Amino acid sequence: NAGVTQTPKFRVLKTGQSMTLLCAQDMNHEYMYWYRQDPGMGLRLIHYSVGEGTTAKGEVPDGYNVSRLKKQNFLLGLESAAPSQTSVYFCASSYEITGLAGIWGYNEQFFGPGTRLTVL
Amino acid sequence: GQQLNQSPQSMFIQEGEDVSMNCTSSSIFNTWLWYKQDPGEGPVLLIALYKAGELTSNGRLTAQFGITRKDSFLNISASIPSDVGIYFCAGRLGAGNMLTFGGGTRLMVKP
């Protein structure tokens, strides 16, 4: 059980280049998230997904796109990288806790090890 | 959007000292979480608080969910060198498991 894995660990891009970050989880979690971490600003949600085939915008979605074609994978794309996208990117996953009356809670988010991206 | 103010931003303490950090918000939350991030790693959950007034311990860590639901604190007793890292608070309100994170407290421990 690897938990949440991210590929690649490091990447350097030139302005205007594109790339895709891969997040994979083997815990059968429904929910997946992409965050960026910048100094002094904590983690900010970029996009998230509540299930295979669904995605939604978070707090800072501009300049990013995502896809959730398979339940275990959540891809984050940068179509035209900008220096402002230099950051550390974290993926996380979680699941709903359901009962007879529906959803009554969530387990807490498990995070991957991060991808450090530099855009020159 | 919602903002979480976490303080202090950094702390440099002697091994064996106790540590206290807190988070405040202008909005209420239903859940408060405390995460720790080691260098080069992702955040790992330390403590989760689900009720206003709740006081929860995890070893040398103690956290409380404020009565007003707008704040939380984390205490670390008798700090050791492996406590070094960045501590984040996070709040959750409503459905979808969306979290709002504080800016983090960087803890450095001098042996």
What pLDDT, in 10s, does the model give residues B9-43? 999 999 999 999 999 999 999 889 999 999 889 99
**Strand A110-111 vs strand B4-7: parallel, antiparallel, or unpaired?**
unpaired
Which band of pLDDT confidence, cut at 50, 70 and 90, is reported for residue B45?
A: very high
Q: SS3 for B22?
A: strand
- Please identify among residues 8-47 of chain A the ones whose CB lies closer than 8 Å to any CB of chain B: 31, 40-45
Which tokens go with A18? 């594109």
DSSP string for residues in chain A: ---EEEE-SEEEE-TT--EEEEEEESS--SEEEEEEE-TTS-EEEEEEESSTT--EE-SS-TT-EEE-SSTTEEEEEESS--GGG-EEEEEEEE-EEEETTEEEEEPPPEE---EEEEE-
The predicted pLDDT at position A100 comes to 59
Instruction: Give contacts of B33 with chain A, Cβ < 8 Å.
Output: 108
Q: How far apart are the first and last CA of chain A?
A: 36
Which residue, B33, B32, B36, is CA-closest to B52?
Answer: B32
User: Which of A50, A59, A90 is facing B96, going by the closest CB pair?
Assistant: A50
Residue A25 has pLDDT above 70, yes or no: yes
The predicted pLDDT at position A1 comes to 67
Residue A95 has pLDDT above 90, yes or no: no
Instruction: Give contacts of B102 with chain A, Cβ < 8 Å.
Output: 42
**Which of B88, B89, B97 to probe the A interface (max A CBs under 10 A)?**
B97
CB contact under 8 A, A48 and B98: yes
The predicted pLDDT at position A113 comes to 95
A59 to chain B: nearest residue by CA? B1
Instruction: Please state which of the ranges A65-79, A96-110, B52-66, B79-93 shows the lowest mean pLDDT.
Output: A96-110
Residue A90 has pLDDT above 60, yes or no: yes
Shortest distance, CA A17 to any CA of chain B (angstroms): 25
Segment A93-105 shows an average pLDDT of 68
